């Protein structure tokens, strides 16, 4: 097992991931006090490669033929294999959004709510553009909540979907 | 693959066939490998031992996808082009948890030339506790 702080349970042999982890480790954690309602983040692109989708499908144990059976998918309305709509959760995350400003989320960030709106399919190997902003920051029952919204546009500029994530910001001790 | 639901014949209170899943650390690692989102609470047992959960936990994104799986199974492409999922997460999911994702049609009405369908959806654990609850909406 390769010993990298923060990923001890992770299997070895995935150099690209370890490099990414090291990159993230070097970043400073975002402070709650720096997050304001309406704060916009730099846009970023993300390519949904077949390799990523295969791992995703294994992780969530999904096997719908829209995502896995090329022949079935080609006969359907989309004409090709697509990514599961919930793969939006792979690239609209606090980690990816904060990475755009060279920050990382604090450890222990917890998701408490999620809203997805799906408008159009994202095809395998398509590169999407993500525009994210802080939709709300509030306190409830002595906990700090942050709402992050990300809109996703496909390579033709069509709104493919949006993700509104509510998470509990950890209290630093 | 199971057949899509017959929308015209679909009635309010119809239960969607539930799906069962077992969470494991291997599946969490696989999901994290796809997401490249290295929150130690998901992948670092030493870190996780010091949290109130005393264990790693699955990313919420990972298991709420089970609800989308259920909706895609029953509504197919319509879910991808006009689905909304709005859920709250109530409990953590730990490796070893057995989950059941289900749903029920609670509203159906005509909308334009098609239909609007709303479902209550949930994920329960092996203790029958709500892990996730909320609703889905779909224009179909």
What is the token pair recorded at A162?
A: 């949006």
In total, how many domains does chain B have? 1
**Domain interval for residue B71:** 15-23+58-139
B99 located within any domain: yes
B84 located within any domain: yes
- Chain B residues closer than 8 Å to A53 by CB: 34
B43 has pLDDT over 70: yes
Per-residue DSSP letter, A15: H
- Chain A residues closer than 8 Å to B80 by CB: 66, 78, 82, 85, 118, 120-121
Q: Residues 6 or more apart from B76 whose CB is under 8 A from it?
A: A66, A76, B4
Rg for chain A (alpha carbons), in Å?
17
Report the SS3 class of residue A1: coil
What's the CATH number for A32-48+85-169? 3.10.129.10
Q: How many CB atoms lie within 10 A of CB A38?
A: 9
B124 located within any domain: yes
Report the SS3 class of residue B30: helix
Q: What is the pLDDT of residues A36-48, one digit of tens each?
A: 999 999 999 999 9
Q: What is the pLDDT of residues B27-40, one digit of tens each?
A: 999 999 999 887 88
B130 located within any domain: yes
Residue A10 — pLDDT band, cuts 50, 70, 90?
A: very low
Kind and range of the H or E run holding A161: strand A159-169
**pLDDT averaged over chain B?**
94
B82 located within any domain: yes
The whole-number pLDDT of residue A20 equals 46
Residue A117 has its nearest CB partner, among B41, B77, B84, at: B84
Residue B27 to residue A58, Cβ atoms within 8 A: yes
- What value of ipTM does the predicted structure carry? 0.94
Q: What is the pLDDT of residues B72-131, one digit of tens each?
A: 999 999 999 999 999 999 999 999 999 999 999 999 998 778 899 999 999 999 999 999
- B72/A85 Cα distance (integer angstroms): 9
Residue B121, domain CATH: 3.10.129.10
B29 located within any domain: no
B2 located within any domain: no
């Amino acid at each position: 097992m390769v010993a990298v702080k923060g990923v001890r349970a992770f299997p070895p042999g995935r150099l690209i991931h370890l490099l990414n982890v090291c990159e993230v480790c070097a970043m400073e954690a975002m402070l709650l006090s720096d997050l304001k309602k309406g704060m916009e983040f730099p846009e970023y692109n993300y390519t949904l490669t077949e390799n990523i989708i295969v791992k995703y499908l294994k992780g969530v144990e999904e096997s719908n033929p829209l995502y896995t059976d090329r022949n079935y998918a080609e006969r359907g309305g989309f004409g090709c294999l697509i990514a599961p709509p919930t793969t939006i959760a792979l690239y609209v995350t606090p980690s990816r959004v904060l990475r755009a400003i060279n920050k990382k989320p604090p450890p222990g960030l917890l998701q408490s709510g999620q809203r997805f709106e799906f408008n159009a399919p994202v095809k395998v190997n398509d590169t999407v553009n993500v525009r994210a902003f802080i939709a709300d920051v509030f306190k409830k029952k002595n906990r700090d909540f942050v709402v992050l919204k990300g809109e996703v546009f496909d390579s033709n500029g069509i709104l493919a979907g949006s993700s509104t994530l509510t998470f509990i910001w950890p209290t630093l001790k | 693959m199971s057949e899509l639901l017959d929308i015209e014949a679909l009635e309010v209170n119809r239960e969607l066939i539930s799906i069962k899943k077992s969470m494991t650390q291997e599946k969490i690692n696989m999901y994290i490998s796809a997401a490249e989102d290295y929150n130690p609470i998901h992948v670092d047992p030493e870190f996780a031992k010091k949290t109130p959960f005393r264990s790693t936990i699955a990313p919420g994104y990972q298991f709420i996808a089970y609800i989308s799986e259920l909706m895609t199974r029953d509504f197919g492409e319509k879910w991808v082009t006009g689905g909304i999922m709005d859920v709250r997460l109530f409990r953590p999911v730990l490796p070893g948890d057995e989950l059941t994702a289900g749903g029920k049609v609670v509203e159906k009405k005509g909308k334009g030339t098609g239909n609007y369908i709303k479902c209550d959806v949930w994920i329960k654990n092996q203790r029958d506790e709500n892990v996730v609850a909320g609703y889905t909406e779909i224009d179909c």
